[in-house]
Amino acid sequence: MDSRDVLRLANKKRAARSEAQNKNETDLLSNQYYTKLMNESHSVFSRLKKAAAVCTRSEDPVFMNSLDQASREYRAVLRSAIVDLSKSKRQKDRSLLLCLRGREMLWGLIELVAFSDRDEELAVRLSKWAQLMLLSDAADVYGEIVRNEVNHVGSERNELYWNGVILQVLSCNFSTAMNILNSHSNARSDLSVGKLVLQLERIHRLFKNGYNGDQFRKIQDNIKRMISDNFFSANNQALFVAKLLVGDSEVFREVCSGLVDYWCEVVPLFTITHMPNATVAALHECAEKCFEFGKQKLSHHLDLTIMSAMGGDVVEALLGAANCFGDWWFSAHLSDLIFRITQT
């Protein structure tokens, strides 16, 4: 199925939608931020179409580079719209912001599934998807912690301090999590903080220098020994982070109940910590467990779309996205990109 088939099926579904849903699309088109998003993404689409027209072979390096560039530009356009909307105080813009964050999350997921080999270890791709999803929240909290440090206030006294550490770990920004922990007033005297920094440093090096699932398990085994020996007993927050790194389900459940907006945001780290050698085939199983953690925050259409993508059904996910987001923008551009790449 190519991008035109996706659009035809999406339009059939659109015809059956309610008047309220169609009004929502009209409202979107009158929003200045959304109009800017449409115009900028159309420019990316047009450049990609021109690149395809001048290349005689689909595997032409110039064309392959243009596909990679288009992927980055589409995501940059989405990110720019999200940043602009986050500054607005209007309720309608807030609703659009949440919608675009959902699209950004789903775009990264569908690309991950569509472009991964069936037997490829996913940890590195999952870490990049996590960084994409949690970028705004993690950066905001980190900025607040840094401001406290500049003002000579012990950063750990900020009530957001440990939330900041957890968000950086969830987003697989292990080096930034280390930086926050090193800003702790007792970073050198509190052994639990110092040991946690060392484990995060080992994980950071592993992802930076060449990920290996078996090596990740060895790091986890070391952390598990420290937990069983009550090494973190004097610092419950450090213990919480340590349990995240070894894949403690109850800790992930607690994170889903309050710290993240959506259950899907914990899927990358949960999958990495539960199945360090996970491939696409294992993604759906891990997603189902995370879905159970976040049942109190359901968004039915988006949940179904995400689960379709997690199960490897990219076409169904694209169709679902056209329906649950209420317009054609997302599915049209992403399906066009995927179709061109999978043709090469």
How is the chain split into domains, by residue range?
1-120+327-344, 121-258
Q: What is the pLDDT of residue 58?
A: 58
Q: What is the pTM of this model?
A: 0.83
Q: What is the pLDDT of residue 337?
A: 87
Distance (Å, whole) CA 292 – CA 26 = 35
Q: What is the pLDDT of residue 302?
A: 85
Q: What is the mean pLDDT of each run of 10 residues along the chain (344 residues)?
A: 48 47 58 90 87 69 80 90 88 84 89 88 94 71 59 56 91 93 74 92 97 97 97 92 97 90 91 96 92 73 89 89 79 86 68
Distance (Å, whole) CA 172 – CA 139 = 13
Distance from the first to the final alpha carbon of the chain: 15
Amino acid at 336: D
Amino acid at 333: H
Distance (Å, whole) CA 40 – CA 127 = 27
Q: What is the pLDDT of residue 325?
A: 76
Q: What is the pLDDT of residue 138?
A: 56
Q: What is the pLDDT of residue 124?
A: 95
Q: How many CB atoms lie within 10 A of CB 192?
A: 20
pLDDT, tens digit (0-9, with 9 covering 90-100), for 72-82: 899 999 999 98
CA 15 to each of CA 12, 210, 316, 344: distance values in angstroms, whole numbers, following the listed order: 5, 49, 18, 34
Task: Name the nearest CA neighbour of 3 among 334, 343, 341, 273.
Answer: 334
Distance (Å, whole) CA 74 – CA 43 = 10
CA dihedral 197, 202, 204, 206 (to 10 degrees): -170
pLDDT, tens digit (0-9, with 9 covering 90-100), for 159-205: 678 888 999 999 999 999 998 888 877 666 678 889 999 999 999 99
Which pair of structure tokens corresponds to residue 132? 């994409």
Q: What is the pLDDT of residue 283?
A: 93
The chain-wide mean pLDDT, for the chain, equals: 83
Q: 172-183 as b/e, with b when 16 or more CB fall inside 10 Å? A: bbbebbbbbbeb
